[in-house]
A and B are shown apart, each in its own frame.
Chain A
């Protein structure tokens, strides 16, 4: 009942014309950037972030959520028609979608993908509505020790997601934590690492850093890379079929596998949609109903991958809303909208600003309907966007990066930060150093420092509360296990071998 009331409240917030328009623009833009070569939701959301300053918080969040979800759908178009996944998470759709298109069934493949993504999106939004509130009530009992451990656990999970680059990811996370401390210390009013630059007194703002790292760096790569060549013969065959729309429901097992993995993995920090789609794809191979071999146009491969892909969105928002911990760069930037408007994501948000929570839930539901509607109307001309020269897009993103970062505070200081972090993003890309942890570190740094100082102040510098509080201890053990699991396994193996 509470869920229905929350949903009704959320729908009424969306009735406001500016929010509804923002949602519509976001959804349309998301689909477009999903199809456009080289432009992903990360770049678009980073460039759009400054423009959400003047919007109502829910309007800004709806705009960015629209882009986030729309790109999942749009990515399938290029995967199926030109064998070029718009996003890493659309690779699995390509494996069976492209062969189907080659067999003259492009309309069936696109319909299968869109409907599966739609089911995934709706299911994950409902899951968010059902799980977020109980999880927030649990998180409300967290003290400073639990907050510190939750953030450290998230940081370690993010680092581990980069496998062999774990130290580099932790280095960038540390850099993010450090950058979050620049400016006047809110506790003691001391100036920290401002180098006497007046602009730095208020700290290093998140917006130009995000625009630089994701917008400008991507644009520089796009303008300096050769134009990709692809077989465009299938673009003309783009379309949808009503029979294809109903087909995913013939494979409930594949759908459920995708839904389960997408939502579950979406909750985990930094693991991302790419892993959930590949796991769902391989799981769907076991006990598949359709006899067509996987990789040669099996519809169940598309259903499982797309369901998993789009069900990530709801899962990823759960940790943002309940714990204030973003799972990836995109949710970190979306969290930036909260920060910009002085809203603190976390359990208190459910009591202080329930209209935001209800609005996000309703937005996620409505966005999926809007996107599906837009795709039905525009799929044919949309597919032609794949022809757009990425170098032109790169140039446009550079101009938008300038005006976006400048207009965030009408200050050239923001543009300078954008340029500095744009160069850093490009250098990091060349050196294979991850940059997403830097943004996550910047977003979580303030809370981590405040909680740590609060805890240490209360305990006179003792670290005992970390091990005397059960939830904190459990998270500490989890951190140790994640960090030292490979070492423990190697030791156990060596012991076993020596016994033999």
Chain B
């Protein structure tokens, strides 16, 4: 009986696990509300409580997630998104770009906007295997244009950095 149930669980697709995780997180936050709302309104009427609306919202998240898991019980794959079709996307490339973006975020306060943007674009072009000429043209021209527009004209302040 138990092994039957376990084998059913092992056939779950990753998106169902994701939905389950989201529902569980929603329930946990619901339960932890007295700790996460400071100071928690213990002596207030339920309808005047600051916890009412967020808890109702979390309930919608949890119930919606569980219903969606049930809805997907016969699906072997999550299918193509109607909003953003990522079925052809290479997830490794996406993760590599995300890592590059993370490093870019960390680099801006240290290296400055111009140098970091140039480095990010060069790294991005290398990751996406662009031709050398295209990479250099894109990285140098775009980083310079962005620097002129945002740093020189719009005066966006990116903090003190080692370089400029």
**A joins B in a complex:** yes
With contacts A403-B156, A410-B156 taken as known, whether A171 is within 8 angstroms of B68 at the C-beta atoms is: yes
With contacts A434-B83, A436-B83 taken as known, whether A177 is within 8 angstroms of B53 at the C-beta atoms is: yes
Contacts of A169 in B (CB 8 A): 64
Q: Are B38 and A191 touching (Cβ within 8 A)? A: yes
B44-75 Cβ-contact flags toward A at 8 Å (1 or 0): 11111011111011111101111110110000
Bound CA span A431–B30, Å: 24
Bound CA span A399–B90, Å: 20
Task: Please count how many residues in chain A sit with their CB below 8 Å of the partner chain's CB atoms.
Answer: 73
Chain A: minimal CB distance from B70 (Å)? 8
Q: Are A192 and B54 touching (Cβ within 8 A)? A: yes
**Which residue of chain B has the shortest Cβ distance to A450 in the bound complex?**
B53
Chain A: minimal CB distance from B127 (Å)? 8
**Which residue of chain B has the shortest Cβ distance to A167 in the bound complex?**
B67
With contacts A223-B93, A430-B91, A432-B79 taken as known, whether A187 is within 8 angstroms of B142 at the C-beta atoms is: no
Contact of A395 among B18, B81, B109, B124 (CB under 8 A): B124
Q: Does B157 contact A (CB under 8 A)?
A: yes
Contacts of B90 in A (CB 8 A): 224-226
Q: Does A218 contact B (CB under 8 A)?
A: yes
Main secondary structure of the interface of B (DSSP, over half): helix
Q: Are A457 and B48 touching (Cβ within 8 A)? A: yes
Taking residues whose C-beta sits less than 8 angstroms from the other chain, chain B's interface range is 35 or more
Contacts of A302 in B (CB 8 A): none
Contact of A432 among B15, B92, B94, B157 (CB under 8 A): B15
Q: Does A164 contact B (CB under 8 A)?
A: yes
Chain A: minimal CB distance from B24 (Å)? 13
**Which residue of chain A has the shortest Cβ distance to B129 in the bound complex?**
A391
Interface residues of A in 390-427 (CB under 8 A from B): 391-392, 395-396, 398-399, 402-403, 406-407, 410, 412, 415-416, 419, 422-423, 425-427
Contacts of A464 in B (CB 8 A): none
Q: Does A290 contact B (CB under 8 A)?
A: no
B84-106 Cβ-contact flags toward A at 8 Å (1 or 0): 11101111111001100110110
Main secondary structure of the interface of A (DSSP, over half): helix
Bound CA span A459–B71, Å: 38
Chain B: minimal CB distance from A92 (Å)? 17
Chain A: minimal CB distance from B99 (Å)? 11
Interface residues of A in 158-187 (CB under 8 A from B): 162, 164-165, 167-175, 177-178, 181, 185, 187
**Which residue of chain B has the shortest Cβ distance to A214 in the bound complex?**
B84
With contacts A192-B50, A193-B29, A193-B37 taken as known, whether A399 is within 8 angstroms of B64 at the C-beta atoms is: no
CB-defined A-B contacts under 8 Å, sample of 26 = A54-B154, A167-B67, A168-B64, A171-B68, A177-B56, A178-B26, A181-B54, A187-B50, A188-B50, A194-B36, A221-B89, A224-B93, A225-B90, A392-B130, A399-B146, A406-B108, A407-B154, A426-B86, A426-B94, A427-B18, A428-B81, A429-B84, A430-B15, A436-B83, A448-B53, A461-B45
Q: Known pairs A190-B37, A392-B134, A460-B47. 6 more at Cβ < 8 A?
A: A188-B44, A192-B37, A220-B89, A398-B124, A422-B101, A426-B86
